[in-house]
Chain A
């Protein structure tokens, strides 16, 4: 079946099977930032935005995307560079495999609650697993990024 949707601001179409996931469709369209980790809805690696909301692309049927707006990290390069610099600056990465999913969820957080406290950051990002960082450095980096977004200096 043919699915037409908006991908990173551009109208695209893709031929998919009835049981294909959004994740599989995006990979076939060259969106290689979208990773598949657990495929059981737990790890957050496959996070993309659907109509502005962070969703797990491993669970969204590709066919459901018809007429919707999908955004991946490829479509947010400017913001990715800003957040990436914060993550690098705080030593918040080792392998980087989880980074695209984490970043997409941070962008969702920045839109929904840019003044998030440390506890609110932890709660919002609870669905993004990382086996390298221990999360503390990620939290520091995200707080720095949110400072840049809001212009507010945190204590």
Chain B
């Protein structure tokens, strides 16, 4: 379990950023995985008093505070209405209600978990990560970067898209064996594969939404998969085209609804 010497409930983002400049400090978000990773730090910095737990609807996007819980996103009426209920559908299978009442979107995005349903969905929706010092960065770029000392304040999701998620799990509420998130916008179909088991990745963009099955086979053939306790590389490669096809179909149906 994680060990901390001091615990600071930050009173401002400036304070949190200054404290987090030291490598001996760590930001505590939902604390679901952090506490299990066995790290030992001088200081834990808690962002829960900074009002970063809100979902705001802007004219062209949703701005989601980094301390917003997965459950808030799952049950948020306007957010789900804008994206065809995909947050409800994608987040509900994650562990249990109590877990989702505590796990935060900022914690998921910062950690770049290789099993994350959340990152896959946000990548499909072309989300941006708003960082305290650096400002807005595309999530697709942020996903590829190494961990740094900057603090995620918000996730920005542009409107005007419909999305769907498909996943396979060994048992309900478990970490996915493979997850596929799809979105359709004016720019065409975008597909993301997560839990490969590696950081979620955009595998194709600007695709015609009604493309044929051979396209998905081709994408799976050139995507890197791996093996772990949940499934083999070969199994993931085999089910990937099916998940992509189903996600694309679900996306088309949401769009037409």
Q: Which residues of A line the B interface, CB within 8 A? A: 1, 18-19, 21, 39-42, 44, 47, 53-56, 59-61, 63-64, 66, 105, 108-109, 123-128
Query: Is A18 a contact of B101 with CB atoms below 8 Å?
Result: no
Given contacts A60-B102, A63-B9, A127-B173, 9 further A-B contacts (CB under 8 A): A19-B3, A42-B95, A55-B101, A55-B102, A61-B44, A63-B7, A64-B9, A105-B97, A125-B97
- The answer, yes or no, to whether B32 is at the interface (CB within 8 Å) is yes
Query: Is A19 a contact of B96 with CB atoms below 8 Å?
Result: no
Query: Is B4 a contact of A126 with CB atoms below 8 Å?
Result: no
Query: Is A127 a contact of B92 with CB atoms below 8 Å?
Result: no
Contacts of A128 in B (CB 8 A): 96
Query: Is A54 a contact of B9 with CB atoms below 8 Å?
Result: no
Q: Residue on B with the closest CB to A53? A: B101
Contacts of A123 in B (CB 8 A): 92
Using A18-B6, A56-B102, A60-B31 as known contacts, say yes or no to A127 and B46 having CB atoms under 8 A apart. Answer: no
Q: Which of A53, A61, A126 contacts B28 (CB 8 A)?
A: A61
Q: Which residues of B line the A interface, CB within 8 A? A: 1-7, 9, 28, 30-32, 35-36, 44, 46, 48, 71, 92, 95-99, 101-102, 172-173
Inter-chain CA distance A127–B70, complex, in Å, is 14
Contacts of A55 in B (CB 8 A): 98, 101-102
Inter-chain CA distance A108–B3, complex, in Å, is 31
Inter-chain CA distance A69–B251, complex, in Å, is 41
Contacts of B2 in A (CB 8 A): 19
User: What's the minimum C-beta distance from A34 to chain B, rounded to whole angstroms?
Assistant: 13
User: What's the minimum C-beta distance from B96 to chain A, rounded to whole angstroms?
Assistant: 1
User: What's the minimum C-beta distance from B46 to chain A, rounded to whole angstroms?
Assistant: 6
Using A18-B44, A40-B36, A126-B173 as known contacts, say yes or no to A61 and B7 having CB atoms under 8 A apart. Answer: yes
Q: List 5 A-B contacts (CB under 8 A).
A: A21-B35, A39-B1, A56-B98, A61-B28, A105-B98
Query: Is A19 a contact of B4 with CB atoms below 8 Å?
Result: yes
Instruction: Give the top 10 A-B pairs by smallest Cβ distance, nearest first.
Output: A127-B96, A18-B7, A18-B4, A63-B7, A19-B4, A54-B98, A53-B101, A56-B98, A126-B173, A55-B102
User: What's the minimum C-beta distance from A122 to chain B, rounded to whole angstroms?
Assistant: 9
Query: Is B32 a contact of A127 with CB atoms below 8 Å?
Result: no
